[in-house]
Each structure stands twice: as structure tokens, then as C-alpha cells.
């Protein structure tokens, strides 16, 4: 035992030294976003501030688990997720710390951030309807609720209820009309499915083009991606479909956010705040949103050409935290509706 | 080390003269090692015994019947499919001579290099309405959309097909190793007694190879149970998707653990079924002192053509077609699909795979040998539990890995703080050490099953002879068993190597900062429905996986000759 002590000391000293040198100019980011453009953006942050960005990408729920099991010693400074439900869950797990930042509060609308600054939305993703230009007159489309009526029997495509975007959509229906109404709605959607849920959102759009169904519930950027694609097959799909944003006459179309929060145990808290503030600058917002055809969180920032083509529309102003709160119930509702 | 020897001596005195008791050195060492590897499984299961409120009744009344039904169908389909393809072709290329046999010997392993989820993505792309096959079909026949029936690959049947194609190589590899290790004198005896090829196969080769075949099928089935990527993409709801949904979707960790526990009941049944044939112990064979090339059955004419087609089919469907689709995609979009950082990703993948393959082989050898020489309830049970990690969905086991790592780190840190006033921070979490541990937890079953099956075929008289010549157990292991087991050890390394190259969930969650592997890279893109961009990386996984497959499979074939 005694013979090992010197080695232990040296190891500890070295580690402490490592800790010191790395503490000066880094920000450790746990991200659930997987876009190359993000990496470019992080490099720009390093260039502007001298702060190095260390990155781990994985699913948000797993990242939350990792931060929890790393405990007080976790190196995580910032966690980025691709939906509001997970931000809410991270906050619920107690791993996010409040941040006071005038810059962030000025830039990001109140419904896209936590009231006490536990997290901030950075881009918006709209869950709209893609319809067949041949078989559907856009005038027939109105609301998410309408898709659950008998007029749409065997005509709807949507992916699995395990998907977080569907969970969030259902959670927003619960928030607006209560569990019973949401149940009736989910029952109707499950009844109206043209085929058993399969594949991702792009596959639902392709199914509309292939006449397997008449209308699909998808996030807007999947269609925008096809619009921007140079592949003739993708262009053929785009030519056969149209985009519709439902619920314009009432609460507005459901939006989800990709956002970030500062971790409660962050060893580099100041850098973490600077990092999120950087992502909310107009320049960064443009890159952040454009690369994936998302809507920026900050107003007045240019969108991609494909997204600009969708025009302007009204979005649900419900604070996205409400979506997170209802997400577990939403899953149960969809289970009971037999929405696979 | 000295203390261990002392413990061994004390244990021997406790456990009887020959040290076969529960407390012998080997028994304790094996149990501790196995428990270490089993820790994450326990972490996951530990919460299964707490009440989960009404979630369980909700699950049982809504989705559970579907999970059970689909999982059972998957197991049945993949089990039968991989059994027939794997064993049939292993015997064909080992015992028969026909055109292309030399190439098929290793080429039949190629589908192993293609992860099942990649197969699922490429087949969907290939077979979809706007894909090349249906477009050609419509152009040739003049049929319009909706005027013809076309099978839907995104279905339970499709999932069975994908998983069978990706997993039959496990059965093929293990049963081929078993056929190669079979004493030629036994087969010659069978032939000289007038048994034809079919009867020799069913009455001699098959029973002798049964432990290896069972091990291979068990691996394929465990991998089937833990598969998430394929079934999720195809919209087939199984236990695995259910566990994800319950844990990550509903945030109900306890109920998810209970589902996982139920899943492990499936696995236990599998394991028991796999053990069954070994009980009788009648399948050990004398080691032939003479080695001779077996006289093979020479196939000609129609039979040769049939054998050729049968061998080509799984390679074409499981490798050539998907690799071709990926290659076309990658070439057509070279700008988007190939990036210079590939070499770094490939380097990381290789480093992890080589390291883990070696460690897993050594660990499996120690554990399997420990059970062999100290077969008591502790060693048997703990190694069984240690192999369970393979059947638990990757993401769940990865979370199970994070917790003990974090616990150790924070305990050490707390101790160092209180004693020396220095913080050590995280020593294991977020390092390659942690990642390799995660792989060992996940893939020990693969190397353990392979080594154990190989060891089971070595007659006990070898141990006794070595013992009578004064060899201690460790020296018997190194000097007697390891040379005999060369083929099985290489097989174990090969399987783990390829599994690590393809591994995703644990890599994603446990890895260090700024550390990408090929699989991570492909997943990033494919999960976001950007298959074209992912094609370059997917192809690289396939390529990095192929080389060792070829090298090691020829080494395995040669290992038979070395035993001269």
C-alpha cells in the first residue's frame, strides 16, 4: 500500500494540472443534434472567443442519464436537444441551472424559452401536413382535429407514436383540449391510417407521392430538404405534393424547438452562457437554422430558400414546456388508441 | 497477486483437497470477474422489483401482447432461417467440393460486415415505390401505380429477412469451426460403416457440432432480441422498442426495467435450451493424433450448380446487393458522401475493435476455463448473468454501464478529496477504458459462447493427463488448451471485432469528447433520414469489417492443419 502512494500522488498532480489547463478555455457540449453545420458553427465560436468546444453527440435521454451518473464531477456545460420534451425532462431531472442573460431574453421570444432561463429554444420545427396535389384540395384541409374525422378514413400517413414529434403533437392537443378530447383525436387518427406506421417523416412524404395515402403529418424541414435536393426522384415527389399548415383559425400550427440549457454542475458556466448567447446571434441563427431548413428562434433572421417558399403562418404560442409536461400522458393516449 | 495466492490456499483448505469448492481461487476469481461484467445488467434489473404503479397494467392492457407476439415471431423466423442457412452452408463448404467453394468459405461471412439497420435502410430504398426495382418493373410491364402487388419490406417478414441475412454468419462461423474441428477418424469410421453423406451429417456431424450450432443460434437470437434499428425503422413493435418507449418516451424507468426483466426470461429459456444438449456430455471426441485432409464429396453437374447457387444467394442478398446500392449512392454523390475525416473515424473504430476483441477473448477463456475446472453454482450462475448483456438493448445496457462507472469515479473522487484534499474528477467515465468496458459487457456472450463451445469439445482426459504431468490449471490452459482452441479463439475475436465495428448505442453514450467512429458517423446521418450522405460511411464500415473477416477466416481454416 505504502509503496503505491508516490504513484498515486503523481497521478493526482498530473490530473489536477490537466484539469487546470483545460478549465481555462473550453466549453463541453452534450448535443442531441447531429448536423455538420453545427460543427462549423462551433468552430466559428472558437475563432471568435478562443474557447474550445468539446463535443459528444448522442440521444438526449441518454445524455441526461450520462450527466446524472457522472454526478457532481460531470464535465458537461451545455446540453442541446432537438425537442422541447427532452428539455423539459432534463429540467425535471434537475440538471439544468437558471441563466440570466439580457442578450438571450431580448433575442428569444418568451414562449420559446423557460420562464427562469433553465433552457432556451434556438430553432423551430413545425409539424405540418403534406398532401397530394392530385387527390386533395387544400381547401379540404383545416385542422389536426379534422384529420381524425371519417372524411379521412384510410387516407392518413404518419410515423410511429414512439417518435418524439408525434408525442409532442399529441401532448399539445392534450394541453389545448384535455386528455379525453386528445384520446378521441388519437383514436380517430389511428382509425384513419392508410397503412401501419413505418419509416421516418421523409417516407411518409414519399408515400403520399406514391398514392399510398393522401395526407401525411410531418415536420416541415423534411419536405424542405426534398425541395432543395437535386435528385430527380426527390423532385418528382416534390411535384406531387403540397404543404399545409393546420389550425390557422384557432391556436396555430404545432411547433417544437431545438434548444439548449446550461448544466447545473457546469465547470465552465461563463463559457456555457457565452456559447448559448453566440448561438442566438443573428449570424449563428442563420447557419443554425438554414442548414437543416428550420425556422430560427430569433425574429428577422433569413430562412432557407425552400422554407421561404412556405410563406408565413401562425404557430401555436403555447409555451413548449407544457408539451414536455404532457408527453408521458400523450404516449399513453396513443397506446390506448392502438396507434403503433 | 500474493494475496490472491494466499486466498487460493485458504480457499483450497476450505473447499476440500482438490480445491473444487466454492471458495477456491479460480472459483472466486471467475465469479468476481463475471460479476464485474454483470454489474450493468444488475443495475438495469435492480429497479425491476419496485412497484411501478399503474404503468404495468396500462402496458399489459394495450401494447404488451403485441410486443410478445412480434418478438416471438421474430425469434422463430430468424432462428429457423439462420439455422438452415448457417448450418447447411457450413456443412456444404466444409465437406463438399464444388466450383467456387474456396471463395464461398470466407465470402459467406461477408454479410456479417453489414449491420442489420444498414440492410434495412438500403433494402427500403431499393424496394420502395420510386426505387430502381419497382421503377424498372413498371417500365418493363407497363403497369401503373397500384395495379400490381409488391411485397412490403417494412413488415415483420421484412425484419425477419433482414435479421436472418445479417445474423446467419454467426451460425455459419461457429458450426463451420465445429465441423473443421471434428476428428476425421470419426467421419471416416462413419463412412466406412457405409453411411452416406446425408446420414453421416445427421447422425455424426450434426450431434457432434450441436453445442457450437446451439451457441451460434443463441447468439443470433440474442442479437435479434436486442435489435432496435431494424424493427424501429420497419415499425415492428417488439420488446426492445417497447423498452425504449417506456423508458425514454414515458420516462417510466421502473416499468422499462420490468420489461427488460421479462425479456431476460426469454433469454434464460434460450440459454437453458442451448445447455440442454451439453448435459449428457456425450459429445466429447478423442483428439485425433493424425491429421489428414478429409476426402470430400465431389459434386458435379446439377448438384454442383445447386450448391453454387445456394451458397451465392445469401452473399448476394446480404452483401453484394446492399453494398452495390451503397456504392452507387456514394459514387453518385461523392461530394456529400465521402469526407477526409474518414481515416480518423476508421482508426478509432479499429483501435476499439482490436482492443476489445483481444480482451474479450482472454476474459472469455478465463471464465470458460474457470467454469470447466470449477463447475459450481457460483461460477455457472455468474458467467450466465455476465453473458446476458448481449440480449439487453444497447441503449439500456449503456445506461447501465454509465452508472457503475460514475459511481466508481465519484467514490474515488470523494475519497481522494477527504484524504488528500484533491479532486480526481472522472477517471473512467468518458474515457476509452469506460467504452471498452461497455463493449465487454455487451459482447462477452459472443466470445464466451464461442470459447465455451470449443472448450466443451476437448476431452477431459487432456486435463487429467496435463495434471498428472504436474501442470497447474493455468499452465494447462496456456500450454494445452490454447493451442487446441486456436480456431475457436480466433472465431471469438473475429465475432467481437465485427460487432464492435458495428456497435452504436454504447459508443454514442459512453465515448470521450470529440471521438467519432464509423458507426457513429453513419448513424448521425442515417437516423436523420440522410441515407445518401451516410452511404460513404456505411460502405467504410462494410470495408473495415471485411478485411479481418477474410484474414481471420483463412486463419481459422488453417488452424485445423496446424494441429498436426
Q: Give B244-259 pLDDT, tens digit per residue.
A: 888 777 777 788 888 8
Measure the CA–CA gap between A84 and A248, rounded to whole angstroms: 22
Same CATH fold assignment for domains A25-124+256-303 and A125-254+315-336: yes
The shortest CB-CB distance from B410 to any of A56, A72, A335 is to: A72
Residue whose C-alpha cell reads 420490468 in the numeric block: B258
CA neighbor of B145 nearest in space, from B125, B162, B129, B158: B129
Question: A53: which strand partners?
Answer: A27
A81: phi then psi, degrees, rounded to nearest 5: -120, 170
> What's the distance, Cα to Cα, between the start and end of chain B in Å?
37
- Residues shown for chain B: 564
- For helices B518-526 and B486-502, the axis angle rounded to 10 degrees is 40
Put simply, whether B1 touches A (Cβ < 8 Å) is no
Cβ atoms of B54 and B250 within 8 Å: the answer is no
A315: its cell numbers: 404557430
pLDDT of B277: 57
Q: What is the pLDDT of residue B337?
A: 60
Q: Which CATH architecture has domain B8-283+302-562?
A: Orthogonal Bundle (1.10)
Q: Residues of A numbered 62-91 whose beta carbons fall under 8 angstroms of chain B's beta carbons: which are they? A: 62-63, 65-66, 68-75, 89
Rounded Cα–Cα distance for residues B547 and B324 (Å): 18
pLDDT classification of B426: cutoffs 50, 70, 90: confident
- Best of B43, B122, B146, B249 to disrupt the A interface by mutation (most A CBs within 10 Å)? B249
Domain ranges of chain B: 8-283+302-562
Q: What residues contact residue B80 under an 8 Å CB cut-off, 6+ apart?
A: none
At B296 the three-state DSSP class reads coil
Superfamily for the A25-124+256-303 domain = Periplasmic binding protein-like II (3.40.190.10)
Whether B289 shows a pLDDT value over 70: the answer reads no
- Tell if the CB–CB gap between B252 and A328 is shorter than 8 Å: yes
- Cα–Cα distance measured from residue B43 to residue B399, given in angstroms and rounded to the nearest whole number: 9
Rounded to whole angstroms, the Cα distance separating A292 from A294 reads 5
Which residue's entry shows cell 433552457?
A: A119
CB contact B514 to A (< 8 Å) = yes
Coil, strand or helix: which one is B340?
Answer: coil
| Statement: residue B50 has pLDDT above 80 | no
Domain chopping of chain A, boundaries: 25-124+256-303, 125-254+315-336
**pLDDT 10s digits, A160-190:** 888 889 999 999 999 999 999 999 999 999 9
Q: The C-alpha cell of B227 is what?
A: 435489435
Choosing among A6, A55, A196, A330, which should be mutated to test the B contact, i.e. which has the most B CBs within 10 A?
A: A196
Strand extents, DSSP E, B342-467: none
Number of Cβ within 10 Å of residue B66's Cβ equals: 15
Q: Supply the DSSP symbol for A294.
A: P
C-alpha cell, B540: 467504410
Question: Does residue A134 belong to the interface with chain B, where contact is any CB pair within 8 Å?
Answer: no
Chain A closest-CA separation from residue B312 CA (Å): 30
pTM value?
Answer: 0.81
Residue A93, C-alpha cell as written in the block:
431531472
C-alpha cell at B239: 420488446
Q: Considering CB atoms only, which of B63, B426, B508 is closest to A58?
A: B508
Within 8 A of A199 by CB-CB distance, chain B residues are 124, 154, 233, 235
CATH number for the domain whose boundaries are A125-254+315-336 = 3.40.190.10
Q: Which residues of A are less than 8 Å from B149 in CB distance?
A: none
- Under DSSP, the state recorded for B480 is I
CB interface of A with B, residues 35-64, below 8 Å? 35, 54-59, 61-63
Instruction: Name the residue among B525, B519, B516, B518 with its Cα closest to residue B505.
Output: B519
Least confident of A53-62, A156-165, B278-287, B479-488: B278-287
Taking only the tens place, the pLDDT of each residue in B105-157 is 889 988 988 888 888 888 988 887 777 888 888 888 888 767 788 888 888 99
Nearest one of B33, B21, B22 to B383, comparing CA atoms: B33
Residue A151 in this model has a pLDDT that exceeds 50: yes
- B291 pLDDT above the threshold of 80: no
CB contact under 8 A, B509 and A16: no
Cell of B349: 473504430
Does A12 contact chain B (CB < 8 Å)? yes
Q: Which residues from B are below 8 Å from A12, CB to CB?
A: 416, 420, 422, 424
Single out the residue of B451, B447, B456, B476 nearest to residue B359, CA to CA: B447
Question: Do the beta carbons of residue A63 and residue B509 sit within 8 Å?
Answer: yes
Cα–Cα distance measured from residue B168 to residue B165, given in angstroms and rounded to the nearest whole number: 6
List Cβ<8 Å contacts ≥24 apart for B558-561. Answer: B559/B180, B559/B486, B559/B487, B559/B490, B560/B180, B560/B181, B560/B291, B560/B487, B561/B291
Task: Identify whether the C-beta of residue A205 lies closer than 8 Å to the C-beta of residue A132.
Answer: no
Q: Do A12 and B422 make contact, defined as CB atoms within 8 angstroms?
A: yes
To which H or E segment does residue A299 belong?
none
Q: Report chain B residues whose CB lies below 8 A from the CB of A211.
A: 145-146
Q: For chain B, positions 78-137, list CB contacts with chain A under 8 A.
A: 124, 128-130
Amino acid at each position: 500500500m505504502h509503496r503505491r502512494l508516490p504513484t498515486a500522488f503523481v497521478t493526482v498532480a498530473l490530473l489536477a494540472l490537466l484539469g487546470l489547463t483545460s478549465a481555462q478555455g473550453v466549453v463541453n457540449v452534450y448535443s442531441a443534434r447531429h448536423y455538420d453545420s453545427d460543427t462549423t458553427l462551433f468552430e466559428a465560436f472558437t475563432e471568435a472567443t478562443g474557447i474550445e468546444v468539446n463535443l459528444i453527440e448522442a440521444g438526449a435521454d441518454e445524455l441526461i442519464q450520462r450527466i446524472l451518473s457522472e454526478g457532481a464531477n460531470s464535465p458537461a456545460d451545455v446540453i442541446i436537444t432537438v425537442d422541447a420534451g427532452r428539455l423539459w425532462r432534463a429540467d425535471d431531472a434537475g440538471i439544468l441551472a437558471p441563466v440570466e442573460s439580457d442578450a438571450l431574453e431580448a433575442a428569444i421570444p418568451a414562449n420559446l424559452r423557460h420562464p427562469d432561463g433553465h433552457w432556451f429554444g434556438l430553432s423551430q420545427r413545425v409539424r405540418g401536413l403534406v398532401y397530394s396535389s392530385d387527390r386533395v384540395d387544400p381547401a379540404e384541409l383545416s385542422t389536426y382535429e379534422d384529420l381524425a374525422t371519417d372524411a379521412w378514413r384510410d387516407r392518413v400517413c404518419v410515423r410511429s407514436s414512439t417518435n418524439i414529434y408525434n408525442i409532442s403533437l399529441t401532448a399539445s392537443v392534450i394541453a389545448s383540449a384535455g386528455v379525453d378530447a386528445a384520446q378521441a383525436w388519437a383514436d380517430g387518427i389511428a382509425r384513419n391510417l392508410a397503412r401501419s406506421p413505418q419509416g421516418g417523416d421523409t417516407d411518409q412524404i414519399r408515400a403520399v407521392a406514391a398514392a399510398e395515402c393522401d395526407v401525411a403529418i410531418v415536420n416541415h424541414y423534411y419536405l424542405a430538404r426534398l425541395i432543395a435536393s437535386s435528385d430527380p426522384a426527390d423532385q418528382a415527389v416534390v411535384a406531387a405534393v403540397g404543404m399545409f399548415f393546420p389550425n390557422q383559425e384557432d391556436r396555430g400550427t404545432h411547433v417544437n424547438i431545438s434548444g439548449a440549457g446550461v448544466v447545473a454542475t457546469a465547470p465552465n458556466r461563463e463559457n456555457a452562457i457565452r456559447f448559448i448567447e453566440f448561438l442566438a446571434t443573428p449570424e449563428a441563427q442563420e447557419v443554425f437554422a438554414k442548414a437543416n431548413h428550420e425556422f430560427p428562434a430569433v425574429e428577422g433572421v433569413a430562412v432557407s430558400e425552400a422554407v421561404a417558399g412556405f410563406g408565413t403562418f401562425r404557430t401555436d404560442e403555447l409555451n413548449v414546456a407544457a408539451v414536455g409536461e404532457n408527453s408521458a400522458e400523450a404516449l399513453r393516449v396513443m397506446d390506448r388508441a392502438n396507434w403503433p | 497477486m500474493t494475496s490472491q495466492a494466499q486466498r487460493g490456499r485458504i480457499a483450497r483448505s476450505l473447499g476440500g483437497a482438490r480445491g473444487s469448492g466454492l471458495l477456491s481461487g479460480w472459483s472466486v476469481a471467475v465469479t468476481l470477474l463475471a460479476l464485474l461484467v454483470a454489474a450493468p445488467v444488475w443495475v438495469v434489473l435492480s429497479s425491476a422489483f419496485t412497484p411501478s404503479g399503474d404503468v404495468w397494467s396500462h402496458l399489459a392492457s394495450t401494447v404488451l401482447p403485441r410486443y410478445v407476439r412480434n418478438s416471438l415471431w421474430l425469434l422463430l423466423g430468424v432462428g429457423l432461417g439462420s439455422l438452415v442457412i448457417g448450418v447447411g452452408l457450413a456443412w456444404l463448404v466444409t465437406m463438399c467440393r464444388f466450383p467456387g467453394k474456396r471463395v464461398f468459405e470466407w465470402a459467406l461471412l461477408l454479410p456479417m460486415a453489414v449491420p442489420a439497420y444498414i440492410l434495412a435502410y438500403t433494402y427500403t430504398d431499393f424496394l420502395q415505390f420510386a426505387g430502381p426495382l419497382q421503377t424498372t418493373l413498371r417500365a418493363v410491364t407497363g403497369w401503373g401505380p397500384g395495379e400490381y402487388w409488391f411485397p412490403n419490406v417494412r413488415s415483420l417478414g421484412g425484419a425477419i429477412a433482414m435479421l436472418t441475412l445479417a445474423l446467419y454468419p454467426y451460425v455459419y462461423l461457429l458450426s463451420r469451426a465445429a465441423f473443421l474441428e471434428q476428428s476425421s477418424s470419426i467421419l471416416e469410421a462413419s463412412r466406412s460403416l457405409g453411411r452416406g453423406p446425408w446420414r453421416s451429417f445427421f447422425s455424426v456431424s450434426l450431434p457432434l457440432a450441436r453445442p457450437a450450432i446451439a451457441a451460434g443460434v443463441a447468439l443470433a437470437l440474442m442479437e435479434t432480441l436486442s435489435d432496435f434499428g431494424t424493427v424501429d425503422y420497419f415499425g415492428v413493435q417488439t420488446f426492445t422498442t417497447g423498452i425504449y418507449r417506456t423508458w425514454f418516451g414515458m420516462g417510466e424507468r421502473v416499468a422499462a426495467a420490468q420489461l427488460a426483466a421479462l425479456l431476460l426470461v426469454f433469454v434464460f429459456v434460450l440459454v437453458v435450451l442451448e445447455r440442454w444438449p451439453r448435459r449428457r456430455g456425450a459429445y466429447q471426441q478423442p483428439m485425433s493424433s493424425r491429421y489428414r485432409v478429409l476426402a470430400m464429396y465431389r459434386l458435379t453437374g446439377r448438384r454442383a450448380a445447386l450448391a453454387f447457387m445456394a451458397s451465392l444467394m445469401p452473399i448476394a442478398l446480404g452483401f453484394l446487393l446492399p453494398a452495390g446500392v451503397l456504392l452507387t449512392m456514394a459514387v453518385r454523390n461523392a461530394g456529400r458522401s465521402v469526407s477526409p475525416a474518414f481515416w480518423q473515424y476508421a482508426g478509432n473504430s479499429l483501435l476499439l475493435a482490436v482492443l476489445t476483441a483481444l480482451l474479450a477473448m482472454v476474459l472469455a477463456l478465463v471464465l470458460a476455463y474457470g467454469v470447466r475446472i470449477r463447475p459450481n453454482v457460483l461460477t455457472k450462475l455468474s458467467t450466465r448473468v455476465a453473458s446476458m448483456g448481449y440480449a439487453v438493448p444497447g441503449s439500456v445496457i449503456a445506461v447501465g454501464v454509465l452508472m457503475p462507472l460514475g459511481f466508481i469515479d465519484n467514490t474515488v473522487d470523494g475519497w481522494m478529496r477527504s484524504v488528500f484534499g484533491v479532486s480526481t474528477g472522472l477517471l473512467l467515465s468518458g474515457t476509452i477504458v469506460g467504452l471498452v468496458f461497455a463493449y465487454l459487457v455487451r459482447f462477452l456472450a459472443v466470445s464466451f459462447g464461442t470459447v465455451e463451445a470449443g472448450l466443451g469439445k476437448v476431452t477431459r482426459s487432456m486435463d487429467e493427463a496435463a495434471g498428472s504431468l504436474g501442470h497447474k490449471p493455468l499452465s494447462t490452459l496456456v500450454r494445452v488448451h490454447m493451442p487446441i482452441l486456436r480456431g475457436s479463439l480466433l472465431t471469438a475475436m473475429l465475432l467481437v471485432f465485427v460487432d464492435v465495428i458495428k456497435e452504436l448505442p454504447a459508443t454514442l453514450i459512453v465515448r470521450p469528447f470529440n471521438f467519432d467512429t464509423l458507426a457513429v458517423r453513419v448513424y448521425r446521418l442515417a437516423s436523420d433520414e440522410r441515407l445518401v450522405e451516410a452511404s460513404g460511411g456505411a460502405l467504410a464500415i462494410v470495408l473495415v469489417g471485411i478485411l479481418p473477416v477474410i484474414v481471420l477466416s483463412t486463419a481459422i481454416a488453417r488452424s485445423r492443419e496446424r494441429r498436426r
